[in-house]
Amino acid sequence: MAARSLRIGLIPGDGIGREVIPAGRRILEALPSSLGIKFSFTNLDAGFETFKKEGIALPERTVEALESECDGAVFGAVSSPTVKTEGYSSPIVALRKRLSLYANVRPVKTISSSQNPIDLVIVRENTEDLYVKEEKTFTAPDGSKVAEAIKRISEKASFDIAAMAGDIALRRQRVRDAGAAGGSIHSTPVVTITHKSNVLSQTDGLFRETARRALGDKKYKSVRVEEQIVDSMVYKLFRQPASYDVIVAPNLYGDILSDGAAALVGSLGLVPSANVGKGFVIGEPCHGSAPDIEGLGIANPIATIRSVALMLEFQGQEEAAARIYRAVDGNLEEGRLLTPDMGGKASTEEVVEDVCRRL
C-alpha cells in the first residue's frame, strides 16, 4: 500500500511557540515508516510579532496556504498586547472563523498510575458566545462610561458542538471496549452539558435545549446525557473530576473550564487541544507564549506533542496518534526527564529526545 502523504502547516507564533512547534515536527518525523505516512511541512507566520512587523497578526498568505496546501496544522502560542493596540486581533480566533473550526477539543488525563485518576475531554464551541468580540463603550446619562459586549449563541453552532461531543463520547467508549484505555475510570459514555440557563434563559437556554436535541438522536442512545450549571460545574470539576467523561460548553465557559482543568494534571504544559472543523484540524497546546521562559530551552513540549497526536487522530491516523500518546505516557510514568514546570530539571530538547526514542 502506498504511503499517505500529509502536508502540515507549522505556525510557531510567539514566545515559546517558536521552541515547541519544532519539537512537534520532530515527533512527526520520528514516527515509524511502517505506519505508512509521509510528512511534509509548510512554515507559516501569525502572532503579535508578525503584527509588529507587518501590521497584521494573521497574514492572508497564511490562510491561503492552509486552505490550498495543507492537510492540517499545528499552532504554537500567541502573545497578547497588555494595552489596547489599534488594529490587533487574535490570529487563532481569526483562524477558527476563517477555516470554520467550530470545535475546540481539550483532553485532560492523568497517567495510569495516578492515585487520583482523571480522564475527561472538554468540547468547547469555538466560533461565537462573547468571543464574537462585538463590544462598545458609551457614556451613561450620569457621565460615567458603560461597556457592553454581545453574547451570541446560535442553534446551528450549538447543535454541531453537541453532536461533536456525542461522537467523541462514542469513540472514547469504543477505545475502552477494545481494552486500549489503560485502565479507564469510565464504564459508560457520558456527556455533561454545561450552561447558565437559570439566569441567561435565552442564550444559554438555547444552547441547553439544542444540545439536548442533538444528543437525543438515536445514534447517541448509549450516551448518558447530564447537565451542570457552570458555577456548580467549576466546584464539582475540582472536587470530583473523575466523575466526568465528556463536557460540552459554550465558548467562554469551555475556555475557563479547560484552563482550570489543566491544574488538575499539574501543568498547562501537559494539556493539548485541537481546533476542529468538518474538513480541517489545527493542533494547539493550551499554554500561552510564556515570555518569562522564552529562549531558556526549558519549555514543556508535551502539550504540543499531544496536540500533534490529537491532530492525527482527527485526520483518521489513530494508530500514529496512539504511538505518540504511549510514548508521552512512558516519559511521564518514568518521571526521569521532566521540565521545571513539572518539578524536574530536564530541557525541552531532552524531553523531545526521550519521546522520540520511545517512538
pLDDT reported for residue 116? 75
CA separation, residue 150 to residues 88, 129, 130, 132, 133 (Å): 19, 8, 6, 7, 7
Task: Give the pLDDT of residue 178.
Answer: 60
Average pLDDT over residues 166-176: 84
pLDDT for residue 181: 42
When pLDDT is averaged across residues 281-298 and rounded to a whole number, the result is: 93
pLDDT in tens, 41-90: 999 999 999 999 999 999 999 999 999 999 999 999 999 887 888 889 88
Q: Which CATH number fits domain 1-101+277-359: 3.40.50.720, 3.40.50.300, 3.90.79.10, 3.40.718.10?
A: 3.40.718.10
Residue range 298-327: mean pLDDT, rounded: 92
pLDDT confidence tier of residue 131, bands split at 50, 70 and 90: confident
In this prediction, residue 266 carries a pLDDT of: 72
- The pLDDT of residue 112 is above 80: no
For residue 81, what pLDDT is reported? 83
Rounded mean pLDDT of 225-252? 94
Task: Using the predicted structure, report yes or no on whether residue 301 has a pLDDT greater than 60.
Answer: yes
Per-residue pLDDT tens over the stretch 149-166: 999 999 999 999 999 999
**What are the pLDDT digits (tens) for 13-24?**
999 999 999 999
pTM for the model stands at 0.86
The second-level CATH assignment, the architecture, of 103-267 is 3-Layer(aba) Sandwich (3.40)
- Please tell me the predicted confidence (pLDDT) of residue 185: 65
Please indicate whether the domains covering 1-101+277-359 and 103-267 agree at the CATH topology level: yes
Amino acid at 301: P
Give the model confidence (pLDDT) of 307-316 as tens digits. Answer: 999 999 889 8
Contact by Cβ (8 Å): 235, 256: no
100-111 confidence digits (pLDDT tens) = 999 999 999 887
Angle at 165 (CA atoms; ends 161, 171), nearest 5 degrees: 140
pLDDT in tens, 177-187: 765 444 456 67
Average pLDDT over residues 123-141: 93
For residue 247, pLDDT beyond 60: yes
pLDDT at 97: 87
Backbone angles phi, psi at 164, to 5 degrees: -60, -45
| Separation between Cα atoms, residue 331 and residue 312, nearest integer Å | 20
Q: What is the mean pLDDT of residues 234-262?
A: 92
Say yes or no to pLDDT of 134 above 60: yes
The mean pLDDT value of the chain amounts to 91
pLDDT of residue 307: 96
pLDDT of residue 184: 54
Domain range annotation of the chain:
1-101+277-359, 103-267
